[in-house]
């Protein structure tokens, strides 16, 4: 047969031209699942489980006068009560937070009064000058190639000593000139 004849045949024709199936394959004995056994109820107690009154609901005579008539209403009332308790707890937490914020507002007022304190202003100016001087000195040493860890350590010790002396002087000045107390009295 030529190729043109093969290309014109359908799949069924090509399959039919092949070898025939054996008798065993035709009966499908091995390819089928075994048959399912029938379930025959032998227990007579099953009949007693059937409830013939499933659709009938019996209500008491005072049903219309009851405040809560269904389980859904009872569940809703419980949920609303829980929500009310949660709201009360949230209100108590808000009140506690407001009490916590009260010292913060006092701290803010103290901080604002310290901004106008001449001792704090002097400390800020000294810190700014020290930072600029130290930064310029370290930059020059770095550019000259003379910056070493030993020099950095000495600079750190010098800064710590300066800050300690500044703290001591500032504490003495606060005691001698109680500026913050004067601000609170105003």
Distance separating alpha carbons of residues 116 and 28, to the nearest angstrom: 102
The pLDDT value recorded for residue 143 is 94
Quick: pLDDT tens for 38-84.
Answer: 777 666 655 555 556 566 566 667 767 777 777 788 888 889 888 88
Mean pLDDT, the chain, as a whole number?
Answer: 78
Q: Would you give the DSSP letter of residue 58?
A: -
**Ramachandran region, residue 109 (left: φ > 0; alpha: ψ -120 to 50; beta: rest):** alpha
Of the candidates 140, 137, 183, the one whose C-alpha atom is nearest the C-alpha of residue 156 is 137
pLDDT at 184 over 60: no
Quick: pLDDT tens for 108-122.
Answer: 777 777 778 888 888
The pLDDT value recorded for residue 157 is 95
Q: Which residues, other chains included, contact 117 with Cβ-Cβ below 8 Å and sequence gap of 6+?
A: 179, 180, 183
Quick: pLDDT tens for 22-35.
Answer: 776 666 555 567 77
The pLDDT value recorded for residue 88 is 86
- Whether the CA torsion 112, 113, 115, 116 is positive or negative: it is positive
Quick: pLDDT tens for 122-143.
Answer: 898 999 999 999 999 999 999 9
């Amino acid at each position: 047969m030529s190729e043109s004849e093969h290309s014109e045949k359908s799949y069924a024709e090509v399959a039919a031209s092949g070898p025939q199936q054996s008798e065993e394959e035709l009966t499908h004995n091995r390819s089928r699942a075994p048959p399912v056994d029938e379930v025959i109820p032998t227990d007579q107690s099953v009949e007693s489980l059937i409830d013939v009154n499933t659709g009938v609901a019996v209500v008491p005579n005072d049903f219309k006068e009851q405040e809560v008539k269904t389980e859904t209403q009872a569940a809703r009332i419980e949920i609303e009560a829980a929500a009310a308790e949660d709201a009360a707890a949230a209100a108590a937490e808000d009140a506690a937070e407001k009490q916590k914020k009260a010292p913060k507002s006092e701290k803010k007022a103290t901080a604002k009064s310290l901004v106008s304190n001449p001792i704090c202003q002097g400390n800020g100016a000294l810190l700014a000058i020290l930072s600029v001087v130290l930064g310029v000195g370290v930059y020059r040493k770095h550019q000259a190639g003379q910056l070493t860890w030993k020099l950095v350590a000495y600079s750190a010790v010098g800064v710590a000593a300066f800050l300690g002396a500044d703290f001591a002087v500032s504490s003495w000045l606060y005691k001698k000139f109680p500026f913050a107390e004067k601000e609170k009295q105003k």
